[in-house]
Amino acid sequence: MYRAPVEDIAFTLKHVAGLKPALDAGTFGDLGEDLVDAILAEAGRFASEEVALLYKVGDEQGAVLKDAAVTMPPGWKALYRRWIDGGWNALSAPEEFGGQGLPTMLGVAALEMWNSAAMAFGLGPTLTMGAVEALDKHASQALKAKYLEKLVSGEWMGTMNLTEPQAGSDLNALRARAEPAGDDTYRIFGQKIFITYGEHDLTDNIVHLVLARLPDAPAGTRGISLFLVPKFLVGDDGTLGARNDVFCSGLEHKLGIHASPTCTMIYGDGFEGASPGAIGWLVGEENRGLACMFTMMNNARLAIGMQGVAVAEMATQKAIAYANERRQGKAATYGGPGMAPIVHHPDVQRNLLTMKALTQIARAISYSCAHAIDCARVSHGDAAHWRDRANLLTPLAKAFSTDVGVEIASLGLQVHGGMGFIEETGAAALYRDARIAPIYEGTNGIQAIDLVARKLPLGGGEHVHGYIAELAAVANSVRTSNLRDFGRTADSLDQALDDLTEATRFLQGLLADGRSDAALAGATPYLRLFSLAAGGAYLARGALADQGRLPLCRFFAENLLGEVRALKERVIGGAESLADAGKALIST
């Protein structure tokens, strides 16, 4: 059973990601550590004692579609009601519309706990929170007044409708169309697939944010607009009116996250005799919808990163508990009767420590990204610096954390041995859930491309080097601490950060020379290289603040951080062989 690691979460927020210095400086007004601790403790209690209890029924029974209506698993509707009654949906939402206006850092920390307890549950609010941010930044005052308060409270939920059968990650191929109706509304026609929580019975209304093209729109992504399309139309007094012409025609049968309804949505097909055309309202400017949607997508990418952290945490907890119970063979460190608990075997210890270290690294990167988002929002003179930092860390938070989620869930299966392959232990379910996260909200390959092509040039190409210099300062603090228990940590960190610097300048040079294909060939290993090097520094920062964390930091530095050197060689020397060998794969 999941137990929220409130102490680890609070420590990482305060002493690794930067929340405590911000609180001490009054960055977030009257917010203090006591309130932060109370919020985290209650979120941990709710996740452990209420959400986690319904994980198994959600996984086994899933969401069910009948007559265009989706019914959630038993108990989930009541759970969601208790969740919004607790104010959790409004945690980081704008105060103007009933939100609590708390830092993003607290929102993502709570999100980690919901997703550890039941990833399929945590997914739904993720999209609603993203919709709130997109509407708050881009919608008209009339739309904000009508929809935001109920989205902020969670009384209504939101969705994000991008993908179509012929258009996955390439939004140039979108065909959904929007026709002006002459009364400030539009009629939306088309099909969207893989829409998370597109239909369900948790709320009375669902607010869809839909990408579509106007009749005279330019080709490509420059001709995409964003529209708000509610499941039920809303009167001026906020009451629900007629059903809109949008419905769920299919529910995907998925590898994991069974309780999260993944829907095929049909717009403008004359549902239940309605006049064809789903009624929608423009969000932002015509043909500028992608910019509006990216507000929501960037929010979602960090949230998906938290899902990777969440599954990694749950898999690690489960594996450690099993390793202390399961007995097999003999071990030099075990002096008790009978066979030794497998936690005494060095290879099992290596797996468990790898799981713990990678989980903490992913958490630190993601929380640091959230910290940068918060600082960009409240800072004045250095807001641009923090926006660049948030942009730099977002692909790391999304891609590395979700890759790690899959890796750690797989290691958890390995620790369980044959029982890990059996559903009753729950280890397999975590692997099934985790596997989607590297795919959606921009595959991790796309995140790597974004990091290299768009984020390395930030600040004239120097922002990334300023960040590396901050990490190097941590390595220097390790060296000057004279703590013998750090072992070779300082040397390992120095080497990893030198490798990161060399790989970074190499890629920046390729981009400057117009050799983007060669640069992108190394994008995926570069993202992992970057994350491991940064993660080593974050573990060291934590160990400097609490020496009880030093053994894990040293284990990572001396056992896992050496991967950075091999990754650098792939970045610098792998492009030509990749291109040559890749030709054999191309059939057309």
In order, the DSSP letters of 119-158 are: HHHHHHHHHHHHHHHHHHHHS-HHHHHHHHHHHHHTSSEE
Burial class (CB within 10 angstroms; exposed 0-12, middle 13-18, buried 19+) of 167: middle
φ, ψ dihedrals at 319, nearest 5°: -65, -40
Longest dimension (CA), the chain: 82
Catalytic residue among 441, 462, 569, 576: 441
Q: Give the DSSP H/E element, type plus range, for residue 413.
A: helix 401-416
Give the torsion sign (CA, 82, 85, 86, 90): positive
Cβ 522 vs Cβ 572: under 8 Å:
yes
The candidate with the shortest Cα–Cα distance to 536, out of 14, 5, 16, is 16
Instruction: Name the amino acid, one letter, at 135.
Output: L
Cβ 393 vs Cβ 370: under 8 Å:
no
The pair of structure tokens assigned to 490 is: 């300082």
Close Cβ partners of 117 (under 8 Å, ≥ 6 residues apart): 2, 4, 47, 48, 51, 52, 55, 314
Q: Which residues of 179-209 are buried (b: 16+ CB within 10 A; e: fewer)?
A: eeeeeebbbbbbbbbbbbbbbbebbebbbbb
Indicate left, alpha or beta for 110 from its phi (over 0: left) and psi (-120 to 50: alpha).
alpha
φ, ψ dihedrals at 139, nearest 5°: -80, 160
The candidate with the shortest Cα–Cα distance to 176, out of 68, 281, 53, 266, is 266
The pair of structure tokens assigned to 377 is: 């929002």
Instruction: Name the amino acid, one letter, at 35.
Output: L
Q: What is the C-alpha to C-alpha distance for residues 276 and 579, in angstroms, rounded to an integer?
A: 49
Close Cβ partners of 439 (under 8 Å, ≥ 6 residues apart): none
42 is catalytic: no
Catalytic positions are 441
